[in-house]
Structure 1
Amino acid sequence: MVETVKGIVLRETPIADYDKIMTVLTAEYGKIAVYARGAKRLKSPLFTATQLFTYGEFTVSRTKTTYYLRTGELIESFYHIRDTLAGAALAAYIADVAADVAIEDEPSSELMRLVLNSFHVIATKKKPMALVKGVFELRAAAIAGFMPNLVACDGCGNSDLDVFYFDVSSGTFRCEDCYRVSAMLSERFAERRNENEGIYPTGQLIAILSASVFAAMRYAIYSKPERLFSFELKDDALSDFASVAEKYITCHMEKNYATLEFYHTVKD
Structure 2
Amino acid sequence: MPLYSTEAVVLRKIDYRESDQIMTFLTPDYGRISGLVRGAKRIRSRFGAALEMLTYGRLIYFDRQGKNLVSINHFDILKSFQRIREDLIRSASCQYMAELIMGLIPERESATEVFKLLVRSMEGMSATRDPDAVLRIFEIKFLSLIGFSPRMDACVFCGSSKGHFGFSIKDGGLVCSSCRGRAAETDPVPEGILFFWKQASAMDLTKMDRVRLQRRLNTGLKWLLHRYFLHLLGREIRSFIFLENLGKETGVRQIYG
With normalisation by structure 2, the TM-score equals 0.85
- 2:183 and 2:102 map into 1 onto residues whose CA distance is 36
Query: Does the aligned pair in 2 maintain the 1:133–1:242 contact within 8 Å?
Result: no
Q: 1:82-122 CA deviation, whole Å, 9 max, x = no partner?
A: 22322222222211111122211210112112221222222
| 2:154 aligned partner | 152
The Cα RMSD (Å) is 2.3
| 1:86 aligned partner | 89
Q: How many residues align?
A: 245
| Mapping 1:221-232, distance limit 5 Å | 221-227=201-207, 231-232=211-212
Deviates more, 1:47-56 or 1:142-151: 142-151
Whether 1:47 aligns to 2:48 is yes
Query: Does the aligned pair in 2 maintain the 1:98–1:115 contact within 8 Å?
Result: no
Superposition deviation, residue 256 in structure 1 = 0.5
| 1:176 aligned partner | 177
Whether 1:234 aligns to 2:214 is yes
Whether 1:67 aligns to 2:70 is yes
Whether 1:102 aligns to 2:105 is yes
SS in 2 for 1:216: helix
Whether 1:112 aligns to 2:115 is yes
Query: Does the aligned pair in 1 maintain the 2:168–2:183 contact within 8 Å?
Result: no
- 2:162 and 2:129 map into 1 onto residues whose CA distance is 28
| Mapping 1:235-254, distance limit 5 Å | 235-254=215-234
| 2:252 aligned partner | none
Query: Does the aligned pair in 1 maintain the 2:121–2:208 contact within 8 Å?
Result: no
- 1:171 and 1:224 map into 2 onto residues whose CA distance is 25
Query: Does the aligned pair in 1 maintain the 2:130–2:213 contact within 8 Å?
Result: no
- 1:31 and 1:40 map into 2 onto residues whose CA distance is 22
Q: 1:204-257 CA deviation, whole Å, 9 max, x = no partner?
A: 5x2312222111123334545445566432121121112211111111221212
- 1:139 and 1:80 map into 2 onto residues whose CA distance is 23
State the one-letter code of the partner of 1:69. I
| 1:215 aligned partner | 195
Q: 1:169-213 CA deviation, whole Å, 9 max, x = no partner?
A: 22221333443xx2557xxxxxxxxxxxxxxxxxx5x23122221
State the one-letter code of the partner of 1:123. S
Whether 1:135 aligns to 2:115 is no
- Identity %, equivalent residues: 22
- 1:246 and 1:135 map into 2 onto residues whose CA distance is 13
SS in 2 for 1:71: strand
Deviates more, 1:83-92 or 1:105-114: 83-92
| 2:59 aligned partner | 58
Deviates more, 1:29-38 or 1:212-221: 212-221
Query: Does the aligned pair in 1 maintain the 2:133–2:218 contact within 8 Å?
Result: yes
Gap regions ≥5 residues in structure 1: 186-203
- 2:71 and 2:98 map into 1 onto residues whose CA distance is 21
| 1:121 aligned partner | 124
State the one-letter code of the partner of 2:156. D
Deviates more, 1:100-109 or 1:129-138: 129-138
- 1:114 and 1:8 map into 2 onto residues whose CA distance is 12
- 2:58 and 2:112 map into 1 onto residues whose CA distance is 15
| 2:32 aligned partner | 31
- 1:89 and 1:267 map into 2 onto residues whose CA distance is 12
- 1:137 and 1:177 map into 2 onto residues whose CA distance is 29
Gap regions ≥5 residues in structure 2: 249-257
- 2:16 and 2:182 map into 1 onto residues whose CA distance is 56
